[in-house]
Amino acid sequence: MPTSEIHDVYRTRFEETRWSVVLRAKQNDDEGLEALEKLCRAYRLPLYSFVRFRGFSSADAEDLVQDFFVTLIERNRLENVEPHKGRFRSFLLASLKNFLANEWDARRALKRGGAFRFVSLQDPDLEFLYERLAGKQDDPDRLFDRSWAVALVQKAMNQLAHEYDQEGRGAVFNALKSCLSPGGKDFSYREVGLELRMAEDRLRTAVQRMRQRFKALLRMEIRHTLRNDDEVDDELKHLLSCL
């Protein structure tokens, strides 16, 4: 799977998603609806991928994901979501399965322009990413987790890029970012050193620092959807195995 290609497409698309956003989405007011829209933006790739893998067309998958979020609003399904009760990833997948099995035919979807303004899911990038994430040996649950992992990785990558830009080191980030690919196989110290006019010892130090900061950011993104710090290592190990 060409992870660098996926990163380029998904960059800046995974909005901030934290337990604070989840909890705000439970509020029955404008702030709650705005928070729920953030959740729709953030989790549309794993949800879309799961639905597509179950055999629905691209257009139907887009409609299903939209209507799934409508159901969360109409039936107040977020009311029972709390950080101490477990992973938000698990809650969302279980809710989607229940929706597909029991509620799709009987749903009463709110129309666009009605009580809730939805994010448009008519995005060719969703199908582009789905085709590259869906492997022949995958089952829907594993594909959901793989898509979730890609979203979290890219969120951490976007934050790292922002930090380098803020420091006026955007060119350094662009030159070093391939060192973050699995195993760093695409990274050449010789070529990058020549590009940045940097001695190898300094370059290796810069790479080490980038990897450490990226790992810290990734752990932070994972922590946002877990009950406590004790679960971060297991969740990180699981999500990376999906990639």
Model confidence pLDDT, tens digit, residues 170-223: 999 999 998 887 655 667 888 999 999 999 999 999 999 999 999 999 998 888
pTM, entire model:
0.71
Assess contact for 181 and 187: CB atoms under 8 A.
yes
Digit-coded pLDDT (tens) for 154-171: 888 989 999 999 999 999
Q: Domain count for the chain, please give it.
A: 1
Residues in CB range of 147: below 8 A, 6 or more apart: 45, 46, 48, 49, 50, 129, 130, 133
- pLDDT for residue 239: 87
Q: How many residues does the chain have?
A: 243
Q: What is the DSSP letter of 115?
A: S
Backbone angles phi, psi at 2, to 5 degrees: -75, 85
- Alpha-carbon torsion (224, 133, 157, 219), positive or negative: positive
Q: Write the CA distances from 5 to 55, 129, 153, 168, 213, integer angstroms.
A: 25, 9, 13, 25, 22
% of the chain at pLDDT higher than 90 = 26
Digit-coded pLDDT (tens) for 55-100: 888 888 888 888 887 777 666 666 666 656 567 788 889 889 988 8
Domain extent at residue 174: 3-242
Backbone angles phi, psi at 112, to 5 degrees: -60, 140
Is residue 6 exposed (0-12), middle (13-18) or buried (19+ Cβ within 10 Å)? buried
* Angle 16-221-62 from CA coordinates, rounded to 5°: 50
Q: Tell me how crowded residue 232 is: count the other CB atoms within 10 A of its CB.
A: 15
Amino acid at 26: K
Q: Tell me how crowded residue 200 is: count the other CB atoms within 10 A of its CB.
A: 11
Alpha carbons 187 and 169: distance in angstroms, whole number: 18
